[in-house]
Structure 1
Amino acid sequence: MSGEPHLVVVDLGFGDAGKGATVDWLCSPAAALGVAAVVRFNGGAQAAHNVVAEGRHHTFAQFGSGTFAGVPTVLSEHVLVEPIALAAESEQLAALGVRDPLGLLAIDGRALLTTPIHIAANRAREDARGSSRHGSCGRGIGETAWYALEHDAPTVADCRTPAVLRAKLDRLAAHYEQLIGPSAHGHEPIDALVAMYRDFAAAVRISGPDELARAARRGRLVFEGAQGVLLDEWRGFHPHTTWSTVEPRNARAMIAGLGGSARILGVTRTYMTRHGAGPLPTEAALGYPEPHNGTGPYQGAFRQGHLDPILLRYAVAVCGGIDGLVVNHLDMPGTLRVATGYETLVGLITEVAPGRWRDLDHQQRLTDQLGTARPILTPIDGDPATWLGERLGVPVVLTGHGPDRRDRIAHRGVAGVFPDASSSAVPGGRDPATGPRSTESRPAAVR
């Protein structure tokens, strides 16, 4: 087993901060970190991790964002797997030149299966909420997780035993029949689903709990999170959350089970974003271009706001601390403004205090408080990444100055992240001061 610490990448905001671009760089030759596999540790097909590299762009959903670099993906037991979308993503990657995408994939048989039945139920339930929508992606994630709490839910391993799968799908469809009804959200017949999932099981490698150990023996693992910590099922602002543990406790547990150590990398932008409903205290019409984000039929509008270190400190706290900070979108023009406090009905607030884990009453109180908060904004004095690292008390280890892989710059990090870095900045491509640098002129590889 590799002696290097494994890396865990989490989004400190509401998602869309650049986890995919970060993971792609960590897996790339420029980083030279010897990554053996990318492990997805939460979420499902609703993930949308944009990567631009080598003249290609792809929005990674279920495949790990190291795929362009040829790094295999492990979908852990904590991922909700949607085979139909996975097959479509495989075809997209093949069209982009990835050779045998499904051959790069291993899926834990214990992972829950998201089916068209879950998706239809999710959309019908969100439609019924009308103006009180929670901000769902409409991909069946919440229904998949909720159903499994009280029922014998279908899993990836069931795809290898059609009789077992058929019985579970029959019960699933019967459970949701009244909710879905004859609506436009219908789903494929059970026979068709069983046939599709049988083909899926034959096309992918369904693995057991020893898969991570096998991957770790080959080298370092990168654990790729989905969504953002501020959407965490227990730590986000209820009820505008995801049915997924986004903060890194599950990744830490898997790494501990390997007998390894972890370094947690928190990712943020130079401004805040979120999709759809829920608190965004610093919301403003910033007008920054978002070529890969827009209004979704269930998520709602894509929103922007000024940088909010108050919420980012909260995210760091509920993660149990982080070891390195990744700051993206440093190419945005103009003077950045940040929240130094909120004016609220109970007075000035400069910190958001975490409650007990799984205390949704506390999270609802935070939602109510943030929903009426008015930010006190001030311009950033100096480099935004340095400023933010100082305010969060975390070293900046990687910065993004554009959408492409070559726009990443690695910085001297904590021991075990980039331990051989001997200068304050080790470019992996574009230097914001001097422009693009070729790999031939790059200093010794960061390991």
Structure 2
Amino acid sequence: MAKNQAAKNVVVIGTQWGDEGKGKIVDWLTDHAQGVVRFQGGHNAGHTLVVGQGDAQRVYKLNLVPSGIVRSGINCYIGNGVVLDVGHLLGEIAALEKDGLEVKNRLKVSSGCPLILSHHVALDTAREAKRAVKIGTTGKGIGPTYEDKVSRRALRVYDLFYPERFSEKLREVMDYHNFVLTNYLGAKVVDFNQQYDASMQHAIALKPMISDISVDLYAANAKGDNLLFEGAQGTLLDIDHGTYPYVTSSNCIAGQASAGTGVGANMLHYVLGITKAYTTRVGGGPFPSELDIDTESSPGFQMSDKGKEIGTVTKRKRRCGWFDAAALRRSAMINGLTGLCITKLDVLDGIKELNICVGYELDGKKIDVLPIGADDVAGCKPIYETVAGWTENTFGVKTWDGLPKNAQNYLKRLEALCGVPIAIVSTGPERDETIVIEHPFA
């Protein structure tokens, strides 16, 4: 199938433990895209968008619907790599439509998406409650649904339109999971009839939006449409490459943009890695450059307080720490990053000295790339390089020359340590609070 060479596609990836500010950047990039695509995760993702100014300003918090939906004329796609809670999706659509946005005519959903059902949520909650050491799951059924997908027992979107077969498969899988819930986890059974009836109602509402996303994306490129692939979570939460087992249940890396939508790798032209100017993590798991966020004199307190580091989905306080260049090197390798976008630079304003983690000491040896696996990461002692901070305000600065000299030096040092050029610097939540060095769609 021929592709118009004028079309360009960009993949936006979180390079840390999620919450890097991808939503704002995706929203900003939609000025140059005609389609926005989700390719992994589920409604455990939380993207916050600030649109407009003054009395006309709107804040949107999206979980499933691609961020491009807040811009008129942008087509949005949910690929097969996404696990779908249809009830949540329909609720999100209703909220957006109530706010005056046209959604259903611009949103297409893959028939291959695995369905998150009531027993998945029950399993997720019961398992986390039983664990002695918490992983930090959102309790939304994401993990158990991916587990069913890999075990080839998942019900997918297209199953909704074959009621008799859906009923048989649902009863079989629910019997299996109810046995686990009651006999192993000590939880209550999940009701078959309630789930079946809800699913049949979901089928009616969802049907107009169902499509073959692979075909749709190839067709869009063929007519010259630029596509923006919107990643969720972050590379260090990837099921294969993250700090396992303190990870999410999907692949959060650039390669998943291909597998999770059904397009070839040659359709992914530019990979933009999003990273905060410092590091955050929500939930459990090792965090080598972590700082104290409770003592007011700690830089970690400033990061937490000024950065408003509260999870969009979990509402949990995020852990904060110094920028970890060694972790970023791992992300750059895995994703094949073309460029970096640094967000929340202004949060560091006023900190006299900034530390950058440039490597670790592990078992008496120095290493310069984050190791794989939680045990080794937990054993890493950070090696810091100290650079001068700045007292000037960087919030809302829109040009490179407008940044304080020490802020420029800090960014240049991050760029050199990570080995990836900085393309964008975000200095605030609004679209125009952005410094462009190299435009990904150029």
Q: TM-score, normalised by structure 1?
A: 0.82
- Asked if 1:372 is matched to 2:379, the reply is yes
Q: Retained in 1: the 8 A contact 2:358–2:384?
A: yes
Deviation for aligned residue 1:252:
4.3
- Asked if 1:235 is matched to 2:241, the reply is yes
CA distance in 1, matches of 2:281, 2:221: 34
CA distance in 1, matches of 2:84, 2:244: 24
Give the corresponding residue for 1:64: 66
Q: Summarize deviations over 1:405-437 as a string: whole Å, max 9, x none.
A: 221222135xxx243xxxxxxxxxxxxxxxxxx
Give the corresponding residue for 1:211: 216
CA distance in 2, matches of 1:165, 1:69: 36
Give the corresponding residue for 1:427: none
Deviation for aligned residue 1:348:
3.1
Matched positions, count? 396
- Asked if 1:10 is matched to 2:27, the reply is no
- Asked if 1:309 is matched to 2:315, the reply is no
CA distance in 1, matches of 2:20, 2:88: 23
Q: 1:397 to 1:158 in 2, by over 3 A?
A: same
- My pick for the range that moved more, 221-230 or 392-401, is 392-401
- My pick for the range that moved more, 306-315 or 184-193, is 184-193
Q: Which amino acid aligns with 2:254?
A: P
Give the corresponding residue for 1:439: none
Percent identity over the alignment? 27
Deviation for aligned residue 1:112:
0.9
Deviation for aligned residue 1:247:
1.0
Q: Which amino acid aligns with 1:196?
A: Q
Matches for 1:262-301 after TM superposition, within 5 Å: 262-284=269-291, 285=293, 286-287=300-301, 288-289=304-305, 290-291=307-308, 293-294=310-311, 301=317
Q: Which amino acid aligns with 1:110?
A: G
Give the corresponding residue for 1:393: 419
* SS in structure 2 of the partner of residue 211 of structure 1: helix
Give the corresponding residue for 2:350: 334
- Asked if 1:409 is matched to 2:426, the reply is no
CA distance in 1, matches of 2:200, 2:369: 53
Give the corresponding residue for 1:43: 41
Deviation for aligned residue 1:376:
2.9
Deviation for aligned residue 1:115:
1.3
Q: Summarize deviations over 1:323-366 as a string: whole Å, max 9, x none.
A: 1111100111233321123233323333335xxxxxxxxx33xx
Give the corresponding residue for 1:102: 104
* SS in structure 1 of the partner of residue 37 of structure 2: strand
* SS in structure 1 of the partner of residue 61 of structure 2: strand
User: Which ranges in structure 1 are unaligned for 5 or more consecutive residues?
Assistant: 354-362, 420-447
* SS in structure 2 of the partner of residue 79 of structure 1: coil
Give the corresponding residue for 1:162: 163
Deviation for aligned residue 1:19:
1.0
Give the corresponding residue for 2:207: 202
Q: Which amino acid aligns with 1:195?
A: M
Give the corresponding residue for 1:139: 140
CA distance in 1, matches of 2:203, 2:258: 33
Q: Summarize deviations over 1:116-141 as a string: whole Å, max 9, x none.
A: 22111111111111x31222111111
CA distance in 1, matches of 2:309, 2:210: 31
Q: Which amino acid aligns with 2:270?
A: R
- Asked if 1:347 is matched to 2:365, the reply is yes
CA distance in 2, matches of 1:168, 1:301: 40
Computed over aligned residues only, the root mean square deviation of the Cα atoms, in angstroms, reads: 2.4
Q: 1:351 to 1:208 in 2, by over 3 A?
A: closer
CA distance in 2, matches of 1:378, 1:208: 46
Q: 1:152 to 1:185 in 2, by over 3 A?
A: closer
Q: Summarize deviations over 1:279-300 as a string: whole Å, max 9, x none.
A: 1111112123354724977x96
Deviation for aligned residue 1:187:
5.8
Deviation for aligned residue 1:258:
8.1
Give the corresponding residue for 2:96: 93
Q: Retained in 2: the 8 A contact 1:123–1:185?
A: no
Q: 1:378 to 1:411 in 2, by over 3 A?
A: same
CA distance in 2, matches of 1:389, 1:60: 30
Give the corresponding residue for 2:396: none
Q: Summarize deviations over 1:58-102 as a string: whole Å, max 9, x none.
A: 122111111111222111111111111101111221233312x22
Q: 1:208 to 1:375 in 2, by over 3 A?
A: closer
* SS in structure 1 of the partner of residue 220 of structure 2: helix
Q: Retained in 1: the 8 A contact 2:361–2:380?
A: yes
CA distance in 2, matches of 1:255, 1:106: 14
- Asked if 1:248 is matched to 2:248, the reply is no
CA distance in 2, matches of 1:258, 1:338: 34
CA distance in 2, matches of 1:51, 1:268: 17
